[in-house]
């Protein structure tokens, strides 16, 4: 008997995974233009972004919405360029 999987596209995706995928796909400057928060604009890092997003529900919701909107585009990019996946290589950040 097969286990049923969640239909929620965010199921199993931590906030850190979402931020890392968005940064890998868009870069910090585009991400900052899409979600207008200082932690994406001024000396951005995943650590500082997560700290802010975890305590700021409206900003977290914007990031999750952008992630969901960009999900199909990111999947196409991963399929076309698997070597560019943040999960297959380490980057110095």
pLDDT at position 31 is 96
pLDDT at position 8 is 80
Q: Which helix (H) or strand (E) holds 46?
A: helix 46-55
Structural domain boundaries in the chain: 15-84
How far is residue 25's CA from residue 21's CA, in Å, rounded to a whole number? 6
Sorted by sequence, the CB contacts under 8 Å of residue 87 that are 6+ apart come out as none
Q: Which residues in the chain land under pLDDT 50?
A: 93
In degrees, to the nearest 5, what angle opens at C-alpha 41 toward C-alphas 39 and 46? 45
pLDDT at position 85 is 55
pLDDT at position 12 is 87
Burial, 2: exposed, middle or buried (Cβ in 10 Å; 0-12, 13-18, 19+)?
A: exposed
Domain 15-84 in CATH 2.40.50.1070? The answer is no
């Amino acid at each position: 008997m097969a286990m049923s999987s969640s239909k929620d596209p965010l199921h199993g995706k931590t906030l850190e995974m979402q931020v890392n995928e968005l940064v890998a796909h868009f870069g910090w400057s585009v991400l900052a233009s899409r979600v207008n928060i200082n932690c994406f604009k001024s000396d951005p890092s995943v650590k500082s972004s997560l700290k802010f997003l975890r305590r700021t529900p409206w900003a977290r919701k914007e990031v999750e919405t952008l992630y969901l909107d960009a999900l199909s585009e990111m999947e196409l990019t991963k399929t076309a360029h698997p070597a560019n996946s943040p999960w297959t290589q380490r980057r110095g950040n």
